[in-house]
A and B are shown apart, each in its own frame.
Chain A
């Protein structure tokens, strides 16, 4: 008799998947219902069920309430889910390719590049009213990509691309340099300091579905590419050389995943600013609580990252209402203690 090994996701993984889906549904419904003009929870649920699943749950919302839901609340909630899911997924992917628990989506200079781009757009920005897309996201997106490309070029120049540490160091150098320029520009124009600072702390504000459509193609492509590499990221966990000896072209895998994660991160950063913490805390919480296999970590990171950011955005909108807190403050304020709890109660190791 031979032992049949078990390959299906563990029961824990399936439970976590279910919990994640329920949390996301709850977060989306709550995010749509809560706000300055309170919408009835039941009405929102039935309206969503009606419009999305074509299930008639009876009376939904009044016409005005439905307009608030579909034109204001829901786009913001969906954007939050896309941004949170992408940041968490890309963070997990970066941790996988660099085999470094401290890697986050901003590791290679995305944050400083986008920050500089956004600052330039705010301070010296051209009049973009006739552009199909606002100047801010375009500048931030371009800045993020240029920064990562610069880090990549520096690392390539430093020698054979065998060593991921060189790429990380190049990213550190590029980030420091761009940060210096960004700070200089920001200090020169103190009248725009507040809006630059607000962008840096991250915020989810929407004008209808515009931002959602802007990021959606990048988010979809990045997510699909990263999720397709889930098995190969597990192989990479035994290191560059052993993965090579198992037949993996590690350079190609790494480059593909980094490009996908950078595109996804740059796109969401361009519309949401620098929301920290999600890309590190969510994947690690899943590693600690469920599994370290990327087959589990990647999909669950996307799911829980989405739910986490939607919930954080509810807090950002309601805690100091009518004022709005920067969402980056909320993610760290609630995320850090939560992470400590996971750290203390979990029996598993990290990464």
Chain B
């Protein structure tokens, strides 16, 4: 069982509170979607889990405080797909995915047969076998996102954090990437936390949504509970219509503001 929990997490940058008093937990195999307007604290929260920003409070996996783990141990249990990954244009796909094995290789060590086997399997599962010797600079946005996901999977971490994994992709590739994550989660029992902008897709793929606004937790629950017209208009300053489809999915449609009180929330 892998449970990721945030206990009273506060993140401050130079006196500015990015996340305040956040308490939430994600159960094993669950997919939690972090939603909220730009600057709500979604990325900060994900980066705190990886100990990339300092915070107060506790972030635990299976009651193990992540703060006391060393980098290597941490990167074996939490993998991150960053929002804007740096992709060295001349690195090949297999070299890049192999970077995901870093947590398992000694300081001066080099990749062993196990690492190659894991990477080969990841490449196969992400349908990257035709790309292994292509360089990252020659890949399309969707292909590159799959490769970055591959690097995270090669870490074989039970918890996968995705920071707006689809923000640069067209609608088809957004779906493909999310379906891939869904498949991996079902197959490997991964616990997934993803920051997302597209509310409809967030509702479709995530088990629960956590709405953050100005660093505070506004709502936590299923898409039906969290995605309401009032909440979205209040926190995103957006004018939307929310439709509950008969299959249970929640569809959020932007509607053109009629200047009936919908204003920019600051």
Chain A residues with CB under 8 Å of chain B are 2-7, 228-229, 231-232, 234-235, 237-239, 241-249, 287, 291-293, 348-349, 351
Contacts and interface: CB of A to CB of B under 8 A. Distances in A.
A349 B90 CA distance: 7
Interface of B: 47, 50-52, 71-76, 79-80, 82, 85-91, 94-95, 98-100, 102-103, 105, 107-111, 116, 119-121, 123-124, 129, 132-133, 137, 155
Given A246-B102, A247-B75, A241 B52 contact: yes
A246 B132 contact: no
Q: Kindly name the residue among A2, A231, A249, A292 whose own CB sees the greatest number of chain B CB atoms within 10 A.
A: A231
18 contacts: A3-B123, A6-B94, A229-B108, A234-B95, A237-B86, A237-B88, A239-B86, A241-B82, A242-B82, A245-B75, A246-B99, A246-B155, A247-B72, A247-B76, A247-B102, A291-B90, A292-B90, A348-B90
Nearest to B74: A247
A101 to B, nearest CB: 12
Nearest to B53: A241
Contacts of A292: 88, 90-91
Given A245-B80, A247-B76, A2 B90 contact: no
Interface of A is mostly: loop
Nearest to B129: A3
Contacts of B124: 2-3
A228 B90 contact: no
Given A234-B95, A292-B88, 15 more contacts: A2-B120, A2-B124, A3-B132, A5-B123, A6-B132, A7-B94, A7-B116, A231-B110, A241-B52, A242-B80, A245-B79, A245-B82, A246-B99, A246-B155, A292-B91
Given A292-B90, A293-B91, A246 B103 contact: yes
A247 B121 contact: no
Contacts of B99: 234-235, 238, 246
A238 B85 CA distance: 8
Nearest to B133: A6
Contacts of A287: 90
Contacts of A237: 86, 88, 91
